Every structure is written in structure tokens, then in C-alpha cells.
Structure 1
Amino acid sequence: MMLAVIGLSGTVLLWEDSWILLEGANDAPTSNTAQLAKAIEVAVETAPELSRVTFAGEEIGLHQAIYADGSGAYIAQEGIVVDRWSGIWERPELWLFELHHYLLMGEVGKTITGVLGIILLAFTITGAILWWRTKQTFRFRLWPARYTASAIVRHHRDLGVVASPLLLIAAATGTMMVFPAISSALLSPVTTADPKPELPTDLASVGRSTDWAAVMANAQSAFPSAAARRLMLPPTPEEPIAIRFRQDFEWTPNGRSYAWVAPRTGIVVAKDDPAMGDTASAVVEKFYPIHAAKVGGILWRISMTFAGLALVLLGLFASWSFWTGKFNNRPESILRPAKAAP
């Protein structure tokens, strides 16, 4: 049942750009640093303790501001706040994300989703092995022919084997995102030392004197041809501002290219360019965009939608068959009312 919940929430999230119908959601994104700086200023003025701003992109033409208390805002590219919320329950895309990734249980839920991914891998592999012995009776159906135990088993077996390649990809990429140690172990032969830049911890804090136009312009100079995707304020004072960019070769929508900028001077104090990284880092960067169908166009999105819906059907019918079978197979002595003592 939990796999069905993950499958359904993930499928809906695949199409979130189609059902976020706020004004400006379909606008083409801008790369003008002055306009991006204006959006940051609006986000800072809208509420205290700004945490991050994700800039408008190809999927959604609105900037998303998130604050430390869990509230947030969508800001149009011309600098107008088009929506505000005080918690995730006021925006479906936010609580669906939390449900899919964390099962609404924080880090514990994230661990559970990783374990479920491993279980899905095991179910898919063993199911394909068991199907091979009965392949002569294969008949693809999206829905069981009858609501009997045998028909549901055949439906489960045949639908599962059709969806198995996509389910393996979804389960493997999801699991390795949750448990990076697994991918590190698998990719160790192509891993090389990749030291991260040391960040200063004695800078002036973000404040009214921060020149956001200078911050964005100088950060852009670190990656001149890249698109600015997210600005993250430092979690503790005296640390630099992080700006995340996406270069042309990167698959991840928000990129993995970082520039760190001093809040007062606007000077770039460090950068991390994935073009200089190893093969392992390049592979890991592909997990999320493949898992969430952020690459591959409409065909891959439809394919992952089929995988998600197949997981929902497999999970629901398996649970239904289990519980109804468990109830129907109970001894008659349990189902029959006890006779009164003479």
C-alpha cells in the first residue's frame, strides 16, 4: 500500500507544471540578473528569514521563495507576489513532494522510502523470474479481467513484467538518492578525489546593505553561459550566499554548479564547477532528472507516468487480494458466532 502511495504522488508530481495555474506560471523564464535581483528584494521584503529563492524555469515561470518558518510565496518575474502560503498544506505541490519523498514523516520517512525502493527492486526482479515459468499464458491488461484471486494474480504478474524495466529504473534511482552510500560503493571504480572548496566563515552577514544586483551579477560571471536557478541564504551568520547554476551539459533542472558570494562586497569567494568533477559525480547527477522525468521529453514523462500508475495498481490490488484472502481463509470457527452454553 505504501508503494502505491509513493507511485501515485510521484505520478501527480510529474505533471505539476500542468496544474499549477497561477498567473505567470506559463511565462518564459528570464536570465536578466537585474530582474532576478529584483525578485530577491521582493522575497526579502515579503516575509522575514528568507531561506531560498528558486528562480523561474522552463517548467514554472514563477520564482518560489521559501522561508525558515515553512511559509513561502510565488513571485512573478516582474516582481509581483501572486500567491502566499503559511505552510505546505496550502500548496498541493509542496505536500505531495513531502509525501513522495518523506511520507510526511521527515528523515524517518525518507529512510522508509529508501527501504521501500529496495523492496520494490526485490519484488520486480523476483516477479520477473517467477513470470518466466508462466510466460505462455501472458496477456497484458491494465485492469483484472475479474475480481477473483486467480485473475488478480495473473493481472499482477503480467502488468508487473511489462512495467518491470521502468520500475527497476525508478526504484534504483530513488534508492540511490536516499542512500548515497550505495551509489558511492557501486561507482567507486570511477570515483576520484574531488575536494570541495573551503568556504570562509568570517564574512559580514546578509542585511539591508546587501546589494543583490551585485551579488547576482558577480555570481553570473563565475558561470557566464549558465542559467541561475536558486539562491540560498547561509544557515548561519558570517557565511557566504550560495547561488546555484545550471550549465548546458547538466541534466538536473536546478544544476549542480555553485558560486558562493560575500554578502557585503558581492565578491565571489568560491565556486564548484561539475565540469571538473569525476565520472561518478556525473552519473549521480543523472539520478534525479531520470527519476522525475526532467529529461527525455514527453515520451519519457509518459513512460514514467505508466510506471507510476502501474505501481499504484500493483500495490492496491495486491493489498486488496491479501486482505480479502486473509479474511475469507479464516477458519469457520472464527467467523461463526459462538453457540451459547447450555
Structure 2
Amino acid sequence: MMRWIDLFHRWTGGIIGLVLGLLGLTGAILAFKTWWLAWLPGAGDAQRQDIAALAAQMETAMAAPGGPPQSVLFATHDFGLARLTRDEGAGAYADQSGRIVAEWGSKWDRVELWLFDLHHHLFFGDTGETVAGIAALIGLLFVITGAILWWRLRKTFKWRLVPKRMSRPAIVTHHRDIGIVFAPLLFLSMTTGMLMVLKPITTAIFAPGTGLTAPFEASKVEGGPLAAKLDWAAMFTAARARYPDAEIRLVSLPRKPGGLILVRLRQQPEWLPNGRTLVWFRPENGALVDTRNVQTMPAGIRAYNAIYPLHAGKVGGILWKLVIASTGLVLAMLGSFAVWTFWFKRPKPRARPARPAPLPAE
């Protein structure tokens, strides 16, 4: 049995290790995205959540050249810019007065956007996302089988941040020991990554009866054409009347005829940075249509909403960000070294001793 576990661990590590290493490295960088975007004008401004400021930002965004955006994501406590999203990956950052401070025509114009796409989709859309989810599932098996294999050699454990030398035995020993140190965090990272992507598994665990999306669906109401001018202050006031302590996070405009305007809010107990408390409005006049309070939803749905914040370091402050980033860097090291030692540092097969020639028959 141990021989088969060892074979599985080594061969799958040699094949999929580079993908896991790439996911770990990009995840570690993205954990501190707001830090390396701090150079943008207005990025360090204090967050404003008063109705007048939010309404003014929406009015400015709606009147911007190029027409209304698809969505507006408002500033957070650690990033003082709003993000406008447009078609074909285009968008802009705007300060809280509505002034555009950076603009792009596609995701390739912004490092944080293509890095996010690489981490989540491997540049291959839904197919790449599925591959990343399967890689995370295999990575979860790596953690389990690695712990089993480590147990036999636990008495040889030595703590080293990096290998003692770049020889195959030293790298394998380091791989085994640093892997067991980070095993709980790697297990959490792989599990949350896999659950965000492989929806059949997630649905079976968290919402086997209702599904993950049904509780968040709006009433079957068809909206009219988007009005040229809406009373955003009145709409935000209506949303706040329903959820007085909630933070207004995002406005999403209809993308097809008959759609509604969606406003996402984050109530204080929610871990998700943009919340999952929803309010819908009619696009022709701004009348409130429906709401969904995530705090009254089943426990499974609320538990599912905690997966992304845990995975991305969006909860727990700077300490958890450091934990998530260090786990990503360790995964990058484990994955890349696994591929290198498997394909380029494999031990040479021992030469078999030549058989002695048979004695001639007398």
C-alpha cells in the first residue's frame, strides 16, 4: 500500500506540481493587491459610505464617456478607489469624487487583472478554472498522502525554510519536512480553492436541497429600459432603510433587456468583502423590487460564503494575509521543486552487473 501511495505522490506531483506552484505564487501576490496599488492617486483616501457621496459617484459614472458601465464597485476601508467595469475587460479606477485616475481597454493593460485571470482561469476561461479546481483537489490528496509518507520518517524531521543544498536528497528531505509544517494551511488552501470551483461538490456539501444560486435569485419581474437619469440617492436610501448598518458595495446594471439593477450590500457579520445581501431596483424608475437578506439564509449558504474570504485572506487582518501569502509561497516552492527533481534530478538506474559467461561444456 505504501509503495502505491509513494508512486501516486511522486508521479502526480511531477505532472501537476508546476500548476500548483503557479497558483500558489499568483495567490501570494494577489493577497497584497491593495498594497501594490497604493501608488494610484486616491488609493489611500478614507472610505466614504454616506448616501450623497455614493450617489454622486454613480451619477458621474453614468455620465462618463462611453456610456454607463456594467458595474461600479465602491471603495473599501483599505482601498480608496471605486472600480468601473465595462465590456471586453475594459474599465477604470475612479476616486470618490468620481474623477478617473486610471483607465484600461482590456485586462492585459493591468497587471492585477491578468494576474487574477491567471490565478482563477489559467488564461483559459471556464476550462482553465475547472483545471485549477481539479489541480486543487489533487493538491488536497498530496497533503494527505504526504502526511502518510512523512509519518514513517518523522524521527528525521528538521526545520528548514529552504533546502540545505540543491541536491535531490536534500530537496526531497526539505519537501517532506516543510510540507508537514504547512500541511494544515495547505489543506485549507486546497480545500477552499477546490470548493470555489467544483460546484457539484460544493452544492452537495453546503446546499444539497436548494442549490447555491436559488436563494439569491430575484423575483420574476421584468424591468424596462434603463433611464437616462435615476435618483441614486433615493435608491441607496431605500436599501439602507432595509439594512441600516450595511455597507453599500456594488451596483450592477442590467446586461440584457428586462434585467434589473442589483445593489450588493455587506452587513457587519458578513466576511465576504462585497457581501451577499441583495437589493433589486427597476431600471426605468428606480423603484425597489425585491431583497435577499443573507443573514436569514440557511447555515450551509452562510458557510459557503466564508470560503472565498478564508482562501483570499479577506478576513483576519494583516496576520491572516501573511499566513495566506506564506502558504502560497511554500506551495510555489514545493510544486516547482517537485517538478524539477522528478524530471531533471531523477536518480540514474543502477547498472546491472554483467552475468558471467557460461563455462564451455566438456
- In the superposition, the TM-score normalised over structure 2's length comes to 0.86
Q: How does 1:170-209 map to 2 (within 5 A)?
A: 170-187=189-206, 195-196=215-216, 198-209=218-229
Quote the Cα distance in structure 2 between the aligned partners of 1:52 and 1:37: 14
- Provide the residue aligned with 2:297 in structure 1: 277
Structure number with the bigger relative contact order (C-alpha 8 A, sep ≥ 6) is: 2
Tell me if 1:288 matches 2:308.
yes
Tell me if 1:52 matches 2:52.
no
Q: Does the CA contact (< 8 Å) of 1:199 and 1:240 recur in 2?
A: no
Q: How does 1:4-15 map to 2 (within 5 A)?
A: 4-15=21-32
Residues 147-204 of structure 1 deviation map (CA, whole Å, 9 limit, x = unaligned): 1111110010001111110010011011111012212222358979975554344322
2:112 to 46, 68, 93: 93
Tell me if 1:40 matches 2:72.
no
Runs of 4+ aligned residues of structure 1 deviating over 6 Å after TM superposition are 189-194
Query: Which secondary structure does the structure 2 equivalent of 1:74 belong to?
Result: strand
2:245 to 177, 201, 225: 225
- Provide the residue aligned with 1:134 in structure 2: 153
Q: Does the CA contact (< 8 Å) of 1:34 and 1:213 recur in 2?
A: yes
Give the CA deviation at 1:282. Answer: 1.1
Quote the Cα distance in structure 2 between the aligned partners of 1:262 and 1:94: 31
| 2:304 partner letter | V
Quote the Cα distance in structure 2 between the aligned partners of 1:192 and 1:79: 38
Tell me if 1:215 matches 2:235.
yes
Tell me if 1:240 matches 2:260.
yes
Q: Does the CA contact (< 8 Å) of 2:223 and 2:282 recur in 1?
A: yes
Which one has a bigger Cα radius of gyration?
Answer: 2
Quote the Cα distance in structure 1 between the aligned partners of 2:327 and 2:35: 19
In terms of mean alpha carbon deviation, does 132-141 or 233-242 score higher? Answer: 233-242
Q: Does the CA contact (< 8 Å) of 1:146 and 1:152 recur in 2?
A: yes
Give the CA deviation at 1:215. Answer: 2.7
Q: How does 1:57-136 map to 2 (within 5 A)?
A: 57-136=76-155
In terms of mean alpha carbon deviation, does 17-26 or 205-214 score higher? Answer: 205-214
Give the CA deviation at 1:48. Answer: 2.7
Distance 1:281 1:100, change over 3 A: same
Query: Which secondary structure does the structure 1 equivalent of 2:89 belong to?
Result: coil
Quote the Cα distance in structure 2 between the aligned partners of 1:186 and 1:203: 35
- Provide the residue aligned with 2:343 in structure 1: 323
Quote the Cα distance in structure 2 between the aligned partners of 1:4 and 1:185: 28
Give the CA deviation at 1:38. Answer: 1.7
2:40 to 22, 29, 45: 22
Residues 240-291 of structure 1 deviation map (CA, whole Å, 9 limit, x = unaligned): 1000000011000000100001122222101010111011011101000000
What do you get for the CA RMSD once the two structures are aligned?
2.1
Quote the Cα distance in structure 2 between the aligned partners of 1:303 and 1:195: 33
Give the CA deviation at 1:68. Answer: 1.6
| 2:31 partner letter | L
Mind listing any 5+ residue stretches in structure 2 that lack a counterpart?
1-17, 352-362
Q: Does the CA contact (< 8 Å) of 2:215 and 2:297 recur in 1?
A: no
| 1:264 partner letter | E
Residues 109-133 of structure 1 deviation map (CA, whole Å, 9 limit, x = unaligned): 1001100110110001100110011
- In the superposition, the TM-score normalised over structure 1's length comes to 0.91
Q: Percent identical across equivalent pairs? A: 39
Mind listing any 5+ residue stretches in structure 1 that lack a counterpart?
333-342
Query: Which secondary structure does the structure 1 equivalent of 2:289 belong to?
Result: strand
Quote the Cα distance in structure 2 between the aligned partners of 1:276 and 1:110: 31
Q: Does the CA contact (< 8 Å) of 2:280 and 2:288 recur in 1?
A: yes
- Provide the residue aligned with 2:354 in structure 1: none
Aligned residues: 331
Q: Does the CA contact (< 8 Å) of 1:73 and 1:82 recur in 2?
A: yes
Q: Does the CA contact (< 8 Å) of 1:245 and 1:257 recur in 2?
A: yes
